[in-house]
Structure formats: C-alpha cells, structure tokens
Amino acid sequence: MLETRNLSKSFGPIQVTRDVSLKLEKGERRVILGPNGAGKTTLFNQLVGELRPDRGSIHLDGADVTGLRVADRARRGLSRSYQKNTLFDGLTIGENLGLAAAVALGKGQGLWSDPLQSAEVRETVREVAAQVDLAPYLGARVDAVSYGIRRQLEVGIALATRPKVILMDEPTSGVGPEMSKGFHRLLKGLPRDLTILIIEHDMDLAFDVADTITVLNYGEVVFDGLPEAARGSQLLKDIYLGAWEDA
C-alpha cells in the first residue's frame, strides 16, 4: 500500500534518512520507534511530499508518487497528522473537520453550494467525531478547548479525508497517560482496512497497537519486524531502551 525504496535525505552534512526501504501492506498498522532526532518526522515529510528526498522513491497503492506534489498525494488517499498541532485555529472543531472532508470530497473549489451543509460532509464529520471522541465539542472553537482535545482534532482532521493510508506523528505527545490510553482504544477502533503508520514514543502503545515495528536510528532502519521480536532485540535495547527507561 505504501512503500519506500532506498529513500535518502541529507541536511547539509547530516544525513537524516539513510537508504530507508519500508513496505506496508493494506490494513497494516506499523509503529515507528526511534530516539529524538532519529529522522522520523523527516521521513513523514518526504512521504507526503513536503520535503523532496535526495534519492530513492515512494510508492502509494502501486504508483510511484515521488514526483507528485503534496495535494496530489493527498488526493490519492494519503493523509497525515502533525507532531505539532496544525489546525485551523479560529474555526470551530466541526468546521475544521468539515473543511477537511469538503476538500477531500473535491468540494474545495466549488462555487454553487456550501459544502459544510452537504449531507456527505456532515455525515463524515459525524463519523469522524465519533471515531476520535469529539462529538461533544463540534460547536466549540479550537482556541477554546484543551490541548488534549486539540490533539484529538489533529488526528481527526487527517481522518476526515477518508484516507487509504494515514500517517500519525506522535499523536499522544504532550497528553497525560489517561488520554493516551483513551487514544489507544480509539486507534484500535479504526477500520481494519485503513493502513496506519504511527510515530510513537510510548512503548506500551507501540506494542499494544502495532502489527509491525520499525526502529529508526540516525536515519537508518535498524529493526523491522514483529513486536515480539522487537521486545527481545538486544540492538533495540541498546539504542532505544535507555531512552525509554529515562522517560
């Protein structure tokens, strides 16, 4: 469903993505682990097209999308959420989700009707709100709700495009353990045919939701396999568990 081949990227002398080759099957839920600065977000930026790789290729649903622009990849069913909230701050939560759904349904340039009133968009907003527990807040403005709610909206916006593949960049970063747990539950409730790639620092969550695990270190894939194998891996312990135990 989503594949990279020998993806490489450097910022000046620093190589932040080294020959990364990944392959996600349809419906696979993969968690990316790795210490701070390992190049996880940079990998996402290349996957969605916000950053051009120096070398290598990206394939979505069988097609090479390496040369496509951000919006074109999104229209092919690729969606992402950001590590740092990237919301429509002055609008309500319902409008945030509605706008995302409207654009994804191709109504973002229409002149003759209000997409926010269309049955399709309203239905999507209702469904996504249920998926990420935002139903009680649809009428509230983004700047009036708590950080945790905004974090849920961050993922909600990405889901509102009804993607085939969703990339989530540390969806629970900065929220308390309670909300984090709630988020596990929400994740597990997502449709099984949705392909999910999550960057996550929380090991419990990682092992809880992952079908497969990829570990990045200094931009390089140092582990790629099943969660059970990851648990026992000495390599993973060496580079990652130290950081995990500190946290």
Ligand X SMILES: Nc1ncnc2c1ncn2[C@@H]1O[C@H](COP(=O)(O)OP(=O)(O)OP(=O)(O)O)[C@@H](O)[C@H]1O
Residues that bind ligand X (CB under 6 A): 11, 16, 34, 36-42, 83
Task: Check residue 123 for interaction with other proteins (CB under 8 A).
Answer: no
Q: What is the DSSP string of the chain?
A: -EEEEEEEEEETTEEEEEEEEEEE-TT-EEEEE--TTSSHHHHHHHHHTSS--SEEEEEETTEE-TT--HHHHHHTTEEEE-SS----TTSBHHHHHHHHHHHHTT-TT-SSS-GGGSHHHHHHHHHHHHHTT-GGGTTSBGGGS-HHHHHHHHHHHHHTT--SEEEEESTTTT--HHHHHHHHHHHHTS-TTSEEEEE-S-HHHHHHH-SEEEEEETTEEEEEE-HHHHHH-HHHIIIIIHHHHH-
36 versus 113: smaller Cβ distance to ligand X: 36
Site stretch for other proteins (CB under 8 A), options 16-24, 29-37, 80-88, 181-189:
80-88
Cβ closest to Mg ion, residue 84 vs residue 188: 84
Q: Would you say 49 or 77 has its CB closer to Mg ion? A: 49
Report the interface residues with Mg ion, using CB under 5 A: 40-41, 83
Q: In what order do the strands lie in the sheet with 78-81?
A: 63-64, 55-60, 2-11, 14-24, 220-225, 212-217, 29-33, 195-199, 165-169, 78-81
Nearer CB in complex with ligand X: 47/102: 47
Alpha-carbon distance 192 to 207, whole Å? 17
How many positions of this chain bind other proteins (CB under 8 A)? 45
Asked if 60 and 80 touch (Cβ cutoff 8 Å), the reply is no
User: Residue 16 binds which one of ligand X, other proteins, Mg ion, none, with CB within 5 to 8 A depending on kind?
Assistant: ligand X
Q: How far is the CB of 90 from ligand X (least distance, A)?
A: 27
In the region spanning residues 17 to 76, those forming contacts with other proteins, defined by CB under 8 A, are 48, 50, 70-72, 74-75
Task: Name which of ligand X, Mg ion, other proteins, none residue 34 binds, using a CB cut-off of 5 to 8 Å depending on partner kind.
Answer: ligand X
Looking at residues 133 to 192 of the shown chain, list those that interact with other proteins (rule: CB under 8 A): 135-140, 144, 157, 161
Least gap, CB of 110 to ligand X (angstroms)? 35
* Residue 113 C-beta: closest distance to Mg ion, Å: 39
| Binding-site partner at residue 60 among other proteins, ligand X, Mg ion, none, CB < 5 to 8 Å by type | none
Residues that bind other proteins (CB under 8 A): 48, 50, 70-72, 74-75, 79-80, 82, 86-92, 94-95, 98-100, 102-104, 107-116, 129, 135-140, 144, 157, 161
